[in-house]
Structure 1
């Protein structure tokens, strides 16, 4: 019932459409059920009265029946068109809710879940849900009205015979319920298996360049084949159950006709049923069988839609680990002083990545974090915009615990250039403008000039309107990096995080970008993660982070004179042993 209530709420914005759709379904059902009774009345009441009365009445009867059919046509048109539109609107609302919720979920959710499975929930699951939303209520209403209406009207003809037919129908209902229980589990498994297929496709296609560079097309084909065959096995199971269900339902439909003929023959022989009434019963059996067929189709539709909606609910009810605290305030007039106080953090409860870290950074200063990979440098920076929350201690900006300020204002104050640059499908201009969606063309070009990418852009045939390709496939690593830096120039934040910001650049580009970053860093608090130590010599403070936390800190000159870990790494790099820092 909880799932049902959650489903019902999506009808609320479209109540008028829904109620009129149900009204039309009621009219269609009433007209269909009434036809055998009209025929029964004509055969018993009108036709025996003679030629003159029949001929005089036929035009009026034809007009009335034509009017009924025109009304039926209008109702059926509304059900098919606007009923589907209502379902599509609900599907759109659910998809928006799901996408909005995915945007709110924290990094930890994406660490644990696959993009392909999320795509499956956004597309195929929601399509089945929309079909259920439209067809479900009207199919149930039409079918139940036809079945119960037919039995009620048949009771007026012959009660014992109708009760016999009703008993066969009840057995059929019990059979359907039992089969439904088995189908529910199978269709849920279908959902999981097709999500696995989507996940495998997404993973392989996004990494197609890596696949081809290693010549591992056959390996990917084998992995896809495994997922594909698992889905096939699940589908085979569902079709075997559906086959037995439909065959059983068809058997019961035939049994209804058999019951009409045999019991009808007995009642006619006893003189308790007129032969003309048997024909009316046959018509009602046809009317009953049609909604039974619809309900059988609906059973498969319901199971698909229900299992899809359950998966939908599982996601939208997943609570984000990173949310605004009650009473959180906007971070205003940011100066940029940062302090890590006894900070500890772990991705799981077993091992801490960071343990009792204490760092104080004055506003406007540049601090570089160096050390071997896995020491926690990127994690330390990820705590500042609350991509993850500390498991111990606190992080403050201008004395405010970042958990007490709104996420939007916090992240607005921080600009990040990561080592792994992501380009959105679209133009160069759109990608730069991501740093400030309402930016003018002049502002975008100024940001590009500051990032030393303007001259390259204008040399292209379409300039700033050049399409970058999926994930920026048509750009080099250095070009993508400079566009990412232009985004941050455009955003103009008070705090910068540069996570290997120049790692993808050649020496010439790096030299120009370093000048741009120096300009950008002026008056702003900057955290720099670097393996190439030559890029951070001018930092106000260099902090060496290793497996045991902060191992040493100071300026470049101080650490060189100390002749400790930093000096060792620095000297090794200039001896050509760059791998020491990897």
Structure 2
């Protein structure tokens, strides 16, 4: 995959509205805003001291005429003093801007993450994780660079251009006009040319990245390449890409050559022209040699600043674009979730669930009705199994119960009360889900089990692990409960992860339990252990079991067969098996004839 490059960030036109949007960032500065303003004062001071420098250099050279040693020493001391002041001002400017930026961005990052985590599920169903990640990383980095250095540099260059031109005019108006007609034009041309070359070298980089992709793919799938004896094909593919890179790079080299010739000829030519005219003016007595030197120094300042300011402007455009994208995410409306975790505030519900005529379509696929009037009741302590072909909306029923999505029609009742009347945290606080693909977070086994109840005691965690049939394998690890899960440390098998998920659900002690094909990907030995753990977990609570394997649900109180968005059959295993040509009977025959 080609890496996401900083250059790829889109730019935003700088307009009054986009600027006002970008200034919202100051809201996140809190009590640190003053640092930005004080930093600006130091910025003005560094600009002013920089502008005094060429003037004093000119006066220093003019001391040749006066042959006065004391004056030479005074001006030299003054120059040293100014340099000293400038370094102090620069130090405060940089450290204040960095201090302000880091505090502001920490607040912004936290707000962004807090908002992201609280966004409803339908937001995540149409956003890629990579894209959200790049918002938090590269967009904020772009804002960071801009606040830390770009704005300051931009203003500094601006001060140097304006101040430089005014001071030039005081030295000689004729020369200033000549300088303004030549130097800025050349500087701007250099910038445009430079940008064109950079775009070109980016093309080369992209091609190199693409050739890298071929290498990566081939190495990762080397067994397939060899199995098909396709080495020659891959070599030809790589060779083709490399030739493209060479062609582009050589062309880029030519452009670089043109650029170098242009710079040498035009930029230095412009300086030669200014000095030539200045020397003529000196000869005719219109200006002194010192003034000429000041003038040449000011001209270089102005020329360099013209060159730099265009680049900085582009950076600021990118930052405004980044800020807009970050605020887009901050403007998304989160679910109503309390800001603090307080597990004691969850009021226990009994766990009677009723679906009345529930209709639903996913926001991203409006044309497909997933559920078209689903009706069923699960009473406290019952095991309700939901079966049916894949893609008929079995897992959707679980998502709706957890209020991941809003239903289009009908109502869902828990204990006779509409689920939309419950506090979201209270509702979800009474439910646990054991999914098909268990997701464990980096950290220890203990932390993963305690995820359901962060303030659980050691004994409670031990008991949950024991009931989930997980204690024996946890005890077999050298670090026991402190064993790291996930990226580093021990990789757990599917059955072990499943049992940790069951322990996590047990510890939460939910009233309603959702098992989403919890044993579908296990081998028979793990399945037996997990099934035993599930039996313990389902005792004394309402369980909704979404199943592919019918063997796991024979003991269910009710089996619902979902087909075409409605419940087409319903009853116990015995009742459904007795139905002639029933969907359940067919599914059952298919599975048991194979097993």
Q: TM-score, normalised by structure 2?
A: 0.79
2:55 to 37, 40, 47: 37
Give the secondary-structure state (helix, strand or coil) at the position aligned to 1:360: strand
Give the secondary-structure state (helix, strand or coil) at the position aligned to 2:373: strand
Give the Å deviation of 1:288.
2.2
Give the Å deviation of 1:486.
0.8
Give the Å deviation of 1:526.
1.5
2:356 to 317, 333, 341: 341
Per the alignment, residue 6 of structure 1 pairs with 21
CA-based RMSD: 4.9
Per the alignment, residue 74 of structure 1 pairs with 88
Cα distance in 2, alignment partners of residues 193 and 305 from structure 1: 27
Per the alignment, residue 488 of structure 1 pairs with 505
Pairs within 5 Å for 1:263-278: 263-268=277-282, 270-278=284-292
Kept in 1, the 8 Å contact 2:386–2:559? The answer is: yes
Give the Å deviation of 1:175.
5.6
Cα distance in 1, alignment partners of residues 324 and 169 from structure 2: 41
Per the alignment, residue 136 of structure 2 pairs with 122
Give the Å deviation of 1:255.
5.5
Cα distance in 1, alignment partners of residues 148 and 486 from structure 2: 38
Per the alignment, residue 399 of structure 1 pairs with 416
- CA deviation digits over 1:501-543, x for unaligned, max 9? 2223444443444343333333322111112223222322211
1:455 to 452, 457, 472: 472
Pairs within 5 Å for 1:171-250: 171=185
1:553 to 559, 567, 570: 570
Give the secondary-structure state (helix, strand or coil) at the position aligned to 1:123: helix
Kept in 2, the 8 Å contact 1:146–1:291? The answer is: yes
The farther-off stretch of 340-349 and 92-101 is 92-101
Cα distance in 2, alignment partners of residues 220 and 549 from structure 1: 51
Kept in 2, the 8 Å contact 1:422–1:471? The answer is: no
| CA distance 1:7–1:483, shift in 2 (3 Å) | same
Per the alignment, residue 165 of structure 2 pairs with 151
| CA distance 1:571–1:159, shift in 2 (3 Å) | closer
Give the Å deviation of 1:451.
0.6
Per the alignment, residue 286 of structure 1 pairs with 300
Kept in 1, the 8 Å contact 2:187–2:303? The answer is: no
Pairs within 5 Å for 1:365-404: 365-404=382-421
Work out whether 1:518 is the aligned partner of 2:535. Answer: yes
Give the Å deviation of 1:282.
0.8
Per the alignment, residue 327 of structure 1 pairs with none
Work out whether 1:427 is the aligned partner of 2:444. Answer: yes
| CA distance 1:302–1:323, shift in 2 (3 Å) | same
Kept in 1, the 8 Å contact 2:21–2:324? The answer is: no
Cα distance in 2, alignment partners of residues 338 and 401 from structure 1: 10
Cα distance in 1, alignment partners of residues 159 and 79 from structure 2: 20
Kept in 1, the 8 Å contact 2:190–2:307? The answer is: no
Per the alignment, residue 433 of structure 2 pairs with 416
| CA distance 1:122–1:160, shift in 2 (3 Å) | same
Q: TM-score, normalised by structure 1?
A: 0.81
For structure 1, list consecutive stretches of 5 or more residues without a partner in the other structure.
325-329
| CA distance 1:51–1:509, shift in 2 (3 Å) | closer
For structure 2, list consecutive stretches of 5 or more residues without a partner in the other structure.
1-15, 339-344
Kept in 1, the 8 Å contact 2:59–2:75? The answer is: no
Give the secondary-structure state (helix, strand or coil) at the position aligned to 1:523: coil
| CA distance 1:209–1:237, shift in 2 (3 Å) | same
Work out whether 1:356 is the aligned partner of 2:390. Answer: no
Kept in 1, the 8 Å contact 2:53–2:79? The answer is: no
Per the alignment, residue 341 of structure 2 pairs with none
The farther-off stretch of 475-484 and 125-134 is 125-134
Question: What count of residue pairs does the alignment treat as equivalent?
Answer: 569
Kept in 2, the 8 Å contact 1:337–1:363? The answer is: yes
Give the secondary-structure state (helix, strand or coil) at the position aligned to 2:485: coil
Work out whether 1:464 is the aligned partner of 2:478. Answer: no
Work out whether 1:25 is the aligned partner of 2:40. Answer: no
Cα distance in 1, alignment partners of residues 66 and 57 from structure 2: 15
Cα distance in 2, alignment partners of residues 458 and 418 from structure 1: 24
Cα distance in 1, alignment partners of residues 372 and 234 from structure 2: 40
Kept in 1, the 8 Å contact 2:434–2:502? The answer is: yes
Cα distance in 2, alignment partners of residues 570 and 90 from structure 1: 59
| CA distance 1:321–1:467, shift in 2 (3 Å) | closer
Kept in 1, the 8 Å contact 2:576–2:585? The answer is: no
